Amino acid sequence: MRFLFHCLGLAAPSLRFLFRGLAVLPLLFALAATAASAQNPPPTQTLRFATLAPDGSPWMRELRAAAAEVKAGTQGRVEIRFFPGGVMGNDQAVLRRIRQGGQLQGGVLTSSELALVYPDASAYTLPFLFADWAEVDRVRPKVDPLLAAGFRERGFHMLGAAGIGFAYLMSTGRIGGVEDVRRARLWVPQNDRIAETAFRLGGANPIALPIADVFTSLQTGMVDMVANTPAGTVALQWHGRLRSLYDLPLAYVLGYVVVDLRAWQRIAPADQAVIDRIFAATTARVDATTRRDDAAALAAMRRQGLEVVTPTPADVAFFRDIGAQVIARLEREQGISPAILQAIRDARGRAP
């Protein structure tokens, strides 16, 4: 070998320098690769979410704060953009855009629309399923993970679910009792088969509309009675048309934050963990503030003249019986999976 290098005109000292140079080559290559990586970072994964929540509402403030945390926590590798106020259409249109891929990857959606792809999404909203917040607090830690697993089987990753409160009947006139509900032009959310079934069993003739159409429908008189939470009513600016609230909580309402599983799986596992942690904290904060917001919204509406009507014991019994009939029918038809219903009852800690 020494003879070969002599033939090439390389003396022994030169050989030592040559070998030293060869020894540092791997380090030089590594430094060059690091520099190239720094100059050409991996492309940002952008997740676009749509929601009906109005811009500037408490929901949107929390969601935008979560998006900022995600960007910082993933060092810019993942960016979340929100399209509020229904600019991407109603929940059904949003679901379609998510399924088609490309334009949207996720949404903050109601249970009634998500039930089109996962019927158990509506399990929490069954009429009179929960008597109070204490029952909600016992059930959700045990049942939320079961619902998340069900969403995954249907192609969605559930980033979180946030309670919006208990829905009450509210009207542009006075709600005196069952007969007023039967005569009302009563709005129910589009595709909310549970609400529609319940009111039809009670003798009403509900009008199914997208939630984005309710404000105009209240103005024109197309509908004169709605069911919503006090905070939701104020956020959607319906409260100016409403004159009475029937003091009987009908159902617990919540929204889901879901992302298309195909888009989710393109994100690195470490970044997925960061996003999951941030949205778990965000939806927990929303849950905690919902009760205060609802109480404050109701107090504000009362100051503006809203009458709160106490139902008679007979009317309460009538509505609760309707709720029991709806749940019994869904059980027979397996509109909600028996396993989910049983998990709710076990965690709730009381008989149906």
Torsion angle of alpha carbons 163, 164, 165, 170, nearest 10°?
Answer: -160
More confident residue, 17 or 44: 44
Asked whether residue 313 is domain-assigned, the answer is: yes
Please tell me the predicted confidence (pLDDT) of residue 58. 81
Q: Check pLDDT > 50 for residue 3.
A: no
Residue 164 pLDDT level (bands cut at 50, 70, 90): confident
Q: Check pLDDT > 90 for residue 68.
A: yes
Residue 40 pLDDT level (bands cut at 50, 70, 90): low
Provide the CA 34 distance to its chain's centre, in angstroms: 40
Asked whether residue 188 is domain-assigned, the answer is: yes
Asked whether residue 253 is domain-assigned, the answer is: yes
Asked whether residue 276 is domain-assigned, the answer is: yes
How would you label 215-235 residue by residue, b for 16+ Cβ within 10 Å and e otherwise? eebbeeeebbbbbbbbbbbbb
Segment 201-232, tens digit of pLDDT = 999 999 999 888 999 999 999 999 999 999 98
Burial of 28 (0-12, 13-18, 19+ CB in 10 A): exposed
**Using CA atoms, how far apart are residues 110 and 107, in angstroms rounded to an integer?**
9
Asked whether residue 116 is domain-assigned, the answer is: yes
Highest mean pLDDT among 10-19, 135-144, 343-352: 135-144
Asked whether residue 128 is domain-assigned, the answer is: yes
Please tell me the predicted confidence (pLDDT) of residue 100. 87
Residue 30 pLDDT level (bands cut at 50, 70, 90): very low
Query: Residue 333 sits in a domain of what CATH number?
Result: 3.40.190.170
Other beta carbons less than 10 A from residue 44's beta carbon: 11
For 21-39, what is the mean pLDDT?
42
Torsion angle of alpha carbons 80, 84, 88, 92, nearest 10°?
Answer: 100
Please tell me the predicted confidence (pLDDT) of residue 119. 93
**Least confident residue range of 86-100, 143-157, 205-219:** 86-100
Please tell me the predicted confidence (pLDDT) of residue 7. 39
Task: Please answer whether residues 223 and 209 qualify as being in contact, where contact means their C-beta atoms are separated by less than 8 angstroms.
Answer: yes
Task: Please answer whether residues 343 and 143 qualify as being in contact, where contact means their C-beta atoms are separated by less than 8 angstroms.
Answer: yes
- Residue 102, Ramachandran bin (φ over 0: left; ψ between -120 and 50: alpha; else beta): left
Please tell me the predicted confidence (pLDDT) of residue 279. 96
Q: Which of 113, 94, 89, 258 minimizes the C-alpha distance to 189?
A: 113
More confident residue, 57 or 48: 48
For 311-326, what is the mean pLDDT?
95
- Six-digit token string for 24: 């540092």
Please tell me the predicted confidence (pLDDT) of residue 41. 58
- Please give the model's pTM, rounded to 2 decimal places: 0.82
Query: Which residues, listed in sequence order, are joined to residue 106 by a DSSP beta bridge?
Result: 49, 259
For 83-100, what is the mean pLDDT?
88
User: In the chain, what percentage of residues exceed pLDDT 90?
Assistant: 67
Asked whether residue 10 is domain-assigned, the answer is: no
Largest CA distance in the chain: 111
- Which residue range is the domain that position 206 belongs to? 45-348
More confident residue, 42 or 43: 43
Cα-Cα end-to-end distance for the chain = 90
Asked whether residue 7 is domain-assigned, the answer is: no
The secondary structure of residue 186, as a DSSP letter, is B
For 296-301, what is the mean pLDDT?
95
Please tell me the predicted confidence (pLDDT) of residue 212. 85
Segment 223-263, tens digit of pLDDT = 999 999 999 899 889 999 999 999 999 999 999 999 999 99
For 335-342, what is the mean pLDDT?
92
Task: Please answer whether residues 248 and 316 qualify as being in contact, where contact means their C-beta atoms are separated by less than 8 angstroms.
Answer: yes
Provide the CA 82 distance to its chain's centre, in angstroms: 13
Task: Please answer whether residues 301 and 234 qualify as being in contact, where contact means their C-beta atoms are separated by less than 8 angstroms.
Answer: yes
Which residue type, as a one-letter code, is found at position 188? V
**Using CA atoms, how far apart are residues 194 and 228, in angstroms rounded to an integer?**
15
| Distances 231 to 102, 215, 292, 294, 300 between C-alpha atoms, Å | 33, 15, 9, 5, 10
Please tell me the predicted confidence (pLDDT) of residue 282. 95
- Six-digit token string for 86: 């229904």
Task: Please answer whether residues 309 and 174 qualify as being in contact, where contact means their C-beta atoms are separated by less than 8 angstroms.
Answer: yes
**Using CA atoms, how far apart are residues 208 and 280, in angstroms rounded to an integer?**
32
**Using CA atoms, how far apart are residues 166 and 231, in angstroms rounded to an integer?**
10
- Supply the mean pLDDT for the chain: 87
The secondary structure of residue 198, as a DSSP letter, is H
Q: Check pLDDT > 70 for residue 4.
A: no
Residue 351 pLDDT level (bands cut at 50, 70, 90): low
Helix (H) or strand (E) holding 59: helix 58-73
Domains in the chain, number: 1
For 99-117, what is the mean pLDDT?
88
